[in-house]
Structure 1
Amino acid sequence: MSDKIKTRGRGRPRAFDRDMALDQAQALFHAQGYEGVGVAALAEAMGINPPSLYAAFGSKALLYAEVLDRYSRASPLSEPLIGPATDPDARPAEALTNLLRKAARIYSADPATAGCLVLEGERSTDADAACRARSCKDASVQQLHGFIAVTHPDKADVVADYVAAVMSGMSADARAGHSTERLTAVANMAALAIAAMLPTA
């Protein structure tokens, strides 16, 4: 998607590519956190000047909100879980275990963007940024709750909260440099607890 904002540089200005700009902003926010990135750095990464950034996104906070929403929708971890509602032979505990193992791989795939942008954003010292990230996380927890409630309605609250807590810890560990193997070991240990809480009928 392009609009009429022009990028900096010599010669004929190029049209502003919003998706590419969001990619650049996401990489910076993921690597340095909301507080660690200023408007000047964001604009430079996008190849525009600060006034153009404000014209395109309104503010740094609104840009961050758009990045979070885009990240949440595009993440492989947001893909629907396979459960009894779509596959009678599927086991909820197995689906949740696979989710944690996938998170272990994704969170540790790139040291520059380790962990989860949303979960790390929730730890922000900027109250507004943390609130925006928390809203994204809460939406994901609600999806987990709905998935679990199909077969284990009495366990949906605690298991959804447990999975979210494990993922938050794995994200923090990935930021600290833990390997995929270490994170996967955590996922496998959590799988034992999940299986105990969600026994197969």
Structure 2
Amino acid sequence: MPRGRTREFDIERALDQAIDVFWRQGYEATSIADLTAAMGINPPSLYAAFGNKRQLFDRAVDKYIHCRSDYLKRAVAEPTGREAARTMLMGVVEGATLDGHPTGCLLLQGGLACADENLSVQEELTDRREQTRKAMQLRFDQAVADGDFPPSTDTAKLARYYATVATGLNVQAASGVPREELVETVELAMAAFPGT
């Protein structure tokens, strides 16, 4: 059986380039021409390796989450709920201000300004961001069970508050706010922590 042509590009490197394009421009504003130029490949190679634009975007988001979710794992492993919240927020600051990458968050920037036919992109990204809030709520629930938080703690509201702060940090980073100011915001958010 004859074999097809050998792929002449590094698929992981090409995927990294696609992540950056989607992150900078968002799903809607990114064209196949933008992607192939950044990835250094032609359209047939893109389609053969990744499928259509949406399939490439989904793979890019999966890789982005896989590579950027260490902060959340570290956060939920912290010994106290307070430390978990701080680690999560500082992880957001780190990820939103990495040298050599766009600022902010692909899960926010990627879904901005989608037309009606692409609303599923926004919905998918919202669902992905919601996973952080859910993970933090579970960690806060554990803090209540461990006696770290009072039994009256509304862990859903607390998780929503810190998820909202995290979203704001990403928006501010994308707007050019320097890392030092974002860290100051984290410290203010931690000063509002229950029992502080």
Alignment TM class, shorter chain as reference: 0.7 to 0.9
- The SS at the match of 1:81 is helix
Q: 1:82 offset after TM fit, Å?
A: 4.8
> What is the match of residue 77 of structure 1?
71
In structure 2, the partner of 1:187 is 186
Contact 2:71 2:87 in 1 (8 A): no
- The answer for the alignment partner of 2:37 in structure 1 is 44
Cα shift at 1:99: 2.0
Contact 1:31 1:112 in 2 (8 A): no
Residue 103 of structure 1 contacts residue 167 of structure 1 at CA under 8 Å; is this kept in 2?
Answer: yes
Matched, 1:62 2:61: no
Paired letter, 1:61: R
How far does residue 49 in structure 1 lie from its aligned partner after superposition?
Answer: 1.3
The answer for the alignment partner of 2:24 in structure 1 is 31
Match of 2:109 in 1: 120
Question: Cα offset for 1:159?
Answer: 1.4
Match among 9, 18, 22 for residue 11 of structure 2: 18
Percent identity between matched residues is 30
Q: Counterpart of 2:64 in structure 1: which amino acid? A: Y
Q: Would the alpha carbon gap of residues 82 and 160 (structure 1) be closer, same or farther in structure 2, given more than 3 Å must change?
A: closer
Partners of 1:44 and 1:111 in 2: CA distance = 18
Instruction: Determine if contact 1:170/1:183 at 8 Å carries over to the other structure.
Output: yes
Q: Tell me which residue corresponds to 2:173.
A: 174
> Pick from 129, 132, 135: which aligns with 1:137?
129
- SS of residue matched to 1:141: helix
CA distance in 1, matches of 2:23, 2:83: 29
Give the distance between the partners of 2:177 and 2:100, measured in 1 at CA. Answer: 10
Corresponding residue for residue 10 of structure 1: none
Cα deviation code 1:36-58 (max 9, x no counterpart):
22111211222221122122211
Structure 2 gap ranges (5+): 146-152
Number of aligned positions between the proteins: 182
- Does the alignment pair 1:165 with 2:164? yes
Q: Report if aligned partners of 2:71, 2:88 keep a CA contact under 8 Å in 1.
A: yes
Select the structure with the greater relative contact order (CA < 8 A; seq sep ≥ 6).
2
Tell me if the contact between 2:25 and 2:110 (Cα under 8 Å) persists in the aligned partners.
no
Q: Deviations over 1:103-122 (max 9, x none)?
A: 22331234850011113334
Q: Which moved more, 1:118-127 or 1:26-35?
A: 118-127
Matched-pair contact (CA < 8 Å) for 1:148–1:156: yes
